[in-house]
Chains A and B, each alone.
Chain A
Amino acid sequence: MDFPFVRRVFSEEETTRIAELFTTRLVRGDVIVLNGNLGAGKTFFVRSAAKAMKISGVNSPTFAIVNEYDNDEKIYHFDFYRIEDAVELFDLGYNDYLNDTEAITFIEWGERLPGVLPAKRYEINIKVNEDLSREIKIEKRT
């Protein structure tokens, strides 16, 4: 997989394959930001990526703000949808999560608080087309 990566997908199976492929490029300490409207498939993408890393049972962290998963790999899964202010995030120990170089961190709705995102990150944008297919764009930012 080379970046930027752009692909139009027509099924969940295709999205799963892209997520699996994407995980082969990840190393511990990486941060992945996912943007896209409600129902676009952000959580599905994270769930598929996590499954490829032998972590199952990934759910949306919209209400918990952050979920933690630990198996062979450790994953932190944030959702900024309900976050109104960056202070709330720092009150959760956001920097401690990002400073954990042993874990991979996924952040849904990262675009809501662009000021707190690390410059070095993967950015995944999922756009829903009129025919309900998805355009998945993955960029690597440094």
Chain B
Amino acid sequence: MKNEPEQKPILAIETSEEICGVCLYFSDNKMFSSSIKQKNSHAEKLYEEIDFVLKISNTSINLLETIAVSAGPGSFTGLRIGMSAAKGLAFGANLPICPVPTFEALALQIAEILQDGSNFAIANKVNMEEVYFAQFKVVSNNYIFAENLRIIRFEELNLIDKNIPMFGNCRIEGMIPLSAPNPEYIAKWFKLFGAELSTADYDYLEPNYLKDFIIRGMKK
């Protein structure tokens, strides 16, 4: 039997929340991953983790297909660290970057474990009063948006159907504490949907903070 040529690996970076994670993804059957959960350590640990997965897989950064980076919404500082690392590495190794929408990568991960046809929601804190919110539906181990990503008031979470499983970091009753995707799902999302988003023109690439909206939303 003839061996399939090995695909070029993807370096995936996930720093949108408390976990600082990287994955060197070749395929679903071969990947090298590292995740660290330690507050305020992303800037310190991210490069060590990248170095680790490259070394343990005996891969040179020049051999990558792309760098897929979790692009938010999420922690401003975390996203900024991930994006700037991606830009630096991409520039040095002449690679493209794919900004992966964080909620959609998480939705992809969740869709693999929920029953087909079921709805679920993701709700992560913007600040003490507002929440990034989106609803999804599982369709054949994949997801579709049931409600587009937007910012809502914290108290509006009480209006969401209690039968819909809700994932996130809002620490309300019934919420499942999963607020960011594992880094391999950043890579998987790129594989499925990211080809057109991948770009070598990343000078002005920014994380998606929904920032203007936040500022307008907070005016009282």
Contact = CB atoms under 8 A, between A and B. Distances in A.
Interface in B16-58: 39
A90 B209 contact: yes
Contacts of A118: 127-129
Contacts of B211: 87, 90
B182 to A, nearest CB: 22
Interface string B180-213: 0000000000000000000000000000010100
A72 interface: no
A115 B216 CA distance: 9
- Most chain B CB within a 10 A radius of its CB, from A99, A102, A118: A99
A68 to B, nearest CB: 9
A93 B76 contact: yes
Interface residues of A, number: 17
Nearest to B130: A95
Interface string B155-170: 0000000000000000
Interface residues of B, number: 18
A133 to B, nearest CB: 33
Contacts of A96: 75-78
- Most chain A CB within a 10 A radius of its CB, from B75, B76, B77: B76
Interface in B107-133: 125-129
A17 interface: no
Interface string B69-95: 000000111101000000000000000
Majority DSSP secondary structure for residues of A touching B: helix
B2 interface: no
A90 B129 contact: no
Interface in A108-130: 114-116, 118-120
B200 to A, nearest CB: 26
Contact of A115 (B80, B126, B209, B219): B219
Interface of B: 39, 75-78, 80, 125-129, 209, 211, 214-215, 218-220
Q: Which 10 A-B pairs have the closest CB atoms?
A: A115-B219, A118-B128, A93-B77, A93-B76, A95-B127, A96-B77, A86-B215, A96-B75, A96-B76, A115-B218
Given A94-B76, A114-B220, A120-B128, 15 more contacts: A31-B128, A90-B214, A90-B215, A93-B76, A93-B80, A96-B76, A96-B78, A98-B127, A99-B75, A102-B39, A116-B218, A118-B127, A119-B128, A119-B129, A119-B220
Interface of A: 31, 86-87, 90, 93-96, 98-99, 102, 114-116, 118-120
